[in-house]
Structure 1
Amino acid sequence: MEDILEKIVTTKRKKLLYQRHPSLTELADLFLNRTHQGENKFYQALNQNPGPNIIAEVKFASPSKGKLLERFTLRELVYRYQKAGACAISVVTEETFFRGYSEMVREVKECSTLPVLQKDFVIEESQIYQAAKLGADALLLIARILSLQRLKKFVELCQLLNITPLVEVHDESDIQKALQAEAPVIGINNRNLATFEVSIQNTIRLRKYLPKEKIVVSESGIVSFQDIELLLKQGVHNFLVGESLIKAEEPDNKLLELKGGVKIGTH
């Protein structure tokens, strides 16, 4: 862990010193409410083979690209994503480097019927409780920043709260950790979080280390239907796409293009 990733985690750790922890009564109510919600919608959405299943992302900024979401409000972008057939919405809620905020989860749940993945840098249990309270259907857990013991614990806690843990990996050692933690969904990040360099070859390289039946999501660097086709041939049916959608003139048409469909308003 180094460079940008280390800075983000250090900043997150400082912020969490001031975060309020839920009481025992609040936790009991939270577990009761979450366990009565039925089957997890995010997990269902990723089982729509042969795909491609697109998790469309909303983020306001990134350390490498600066400000991103300028032409649309969060609600407008989510509406376009849902109209174009996204299987789920991802929201980046980290505050300092990505300009997000935790209430993004609730706002998307209020304006969309799609399941919501919350992406943040999770290092404490309190963040999982907060995600559950906000209504997140899935939560990103980054293998690189967690010990195996902590990752196992977080995966189990998410599942107890009816949250799908999406465990993100970037190399072979991350994969071993994710498999030992019995992650139900593994996201292969094509972006190196230390340098922010991107290549979809990382999914192709790492897919062979995972069981064929494992649900895999390819994350970052997907810009064309040709990228999708290449990864479908590797047995990957789920894709998390952010910047290429957010920066497109018509994000809904870009999403349709990535799905191999016809643009809205064309024949």
Structure 2
Amino acid sequence: MSDILATLVTQAEQQTARRRAARPGPETQAAAALAPPPRDFAAALREPGLAVIAEMKPRSPSKGPLTDDYRPAERARAYREGGAAALSVLTHEDGFGGSPEHLGVARAESELPILRKDFITDEYQLLEARALGADAVLLIVAALPATRLAELLARARELGMEALVETHDAGEVDTALAAGATVIGVNHRDLRDFTIDRTLSARLRPRIGSGRILVAESGIRDAHDARALARAGVDAVLVGELLMRADDPAATIKELKA
């Protein structure tokens, strides 16, 4: 695990400890059982054409603030109007300025499946995600031992959610496949130095196999990049910074899908 990733994971664990103290596990589990039925995240990404997972985040550790006026409800509506297939909601507080409560805000404003994007290492985070209306969660191979990855993936599915399993290289793809992942993300950003390699998804597509959903993450600058990834066999793109900085995010999503 890189130093950057380790720091983000530690921050997420500290956030989780605070939230567990305020709302213990049994209470959160009961709330998860009463949550509205999950929406089908994987099915949304299998629709014809390139699917766009539109990300909501006020800032990032590498780029700093992305907007001066973060309004999750308005952002969710704009992404829905633009034709996004799903929403990705950052809930990590320290590095991204997010909050788990933004999941409920996004769900109230959109019928789209919602991904909880955070650094998940604990079952409590899964229960909390479902209780707040998430339909899927992010699991990062580099942040988890292989056995723990498989356990969290299985538990997410028991709760009715799917997981976007994020990888960075061929070895991590193999770990994701062994755990049973069907929605596999390829992060183009190297978390050791933040460099971007947009060819990574194309190179890993054969290893992932055509029967699984491939999501390209990070470094997507415009419709040209999106079209190149679609030609390479990518099923969906997860786009955050571009949309957060866009004057008209709905129009930008339409351009990415064209």
TM-score, normalised on structure 1? Answer: 0.90
Normalized per residue, the structure richer in helix is 2
Q: What is aligned with 1:240?
A: 238
Q: What is aligned with 1:3?
A: 3
RMSD of aligned C-alpha atoms?
1.8
- Where do residues 184-223 of structure 1 align in structure 2 (5 Å cutoff)? 184-223=182-221
Q: Deviations over 1:120-153 (max 9, x none)?
A: 0001111111101111011000010101110000
- Where do residues 177-188 of structure 1 align in structure 2 (5 Å cutoff)? 177-188=175-186
- 1:22 equivalent to 2:21? Answer no
Shift of residue 195 of structure 1? 2.1
Structure 1 CA distance, aligned partners of 2:115 and 2:7?
Answer: 23
Structure 1 CA distance, aligned partners of 2:31 and 2:222?
Answer: 44
CA 1:146/1:132 → structure 2, altered by over 3 Å: closer, same or farther? same
Structure 2 CA distance, aligned partners of 1:5 and 1:156?
Answer: 23
Shift of residue 97 of structure 1? 0.7
- Where do residues 1-267 of structure 1 align in structure 2 (5 Å cutoff)? 1-18=1-18, 19-20=20-21, 21-23=24-26, 27=29, 30-31=32-33, 33=34, 37=37, 40-49=39-48, 51-71=49-69, 73-260=71-258
TM-score, normalised on structure 2? Answer: 0.93
Q: Deviations over 1:244-266 (max 9, x none)?
A: 11111211111111112xxxxxx
**Is the 8 Å Cα contact of residues 86 and 114 (structure 2) preserved in structure 1?**
yes
Aligned residues: 255
**Is the 8 Å Cα contact of residues 3 and 195 (structure 1) preserved in structure 2?**
no
> Gaps spanning 5+ residues in structure 2: where?
none
State the AA in 2 paired with 1:99.
G
State the AA in 1 paired with 2:235.
H
Worse-superposed segment, 120-129 or 193-202:
193-202
Percent identity over the alignment?
A: 37
1:208 partner SS: helix
**Is the 8 Å Cα contact of residues 117 and 137 (structure 2) preserved in structure 1?**
yes
> Gaps spanning 5+ residues in structure 1: where?
261-267
2:32 partner SS: helix
Quick check: which has more Rg, 1 or 2? 1
